[in-house]
Amino acid sequence: MNKIPDDVEEMAKRIKNFKSATRPNAENKEKKFVYAYQTGSRIATELVSGVLVGAGLGYFLDKFAGTAPALLIIFLILGGAAGFLNVYRFVKKEDQRKEEN
């Protein structure tokens, strides 16, 4: 017997539409933050791992060959270059992926 007025039903629909429209924005912000965190971590890992592997390899080769810090310095530079190359490749691949979407 008690009928809900049309304006109340319309207001309920508008509220429901508003809630569904605002939820994806919060999820998108969280996804963007997670993506940025993952990307930054990947870049930092690539740079650090290249330098550490180069330094370690140079250190052990120096110990084996007895050439003091010469090979350490050479492989440290090569490791840094390899790290930058890996970061460049990663960024280039991400740019291509973004262009496709």
Sequence ranges of the domains in the chain: 6-100
Q: Residue 7's pLDDT band (boundaries 50, 70, 90)?
A: confident
Collapsing DSSP to helix, strand or coil, 2 comes out as coil
Alpha-carbon span 101 to 86, nearest angstrom: 23
pLDDT tens-digit map of 58-75: 999 999 998 889 999 999
pTM score: 0.67
pLDDT tens-digit map of 23-72: 666 667 778 888 899 999 999 999 999 999 999 999 999 999 988 899 99
Average pLDDT (77-96) is 94
| Element counts in the chain: helices (H) and strands (E) | 2, 0
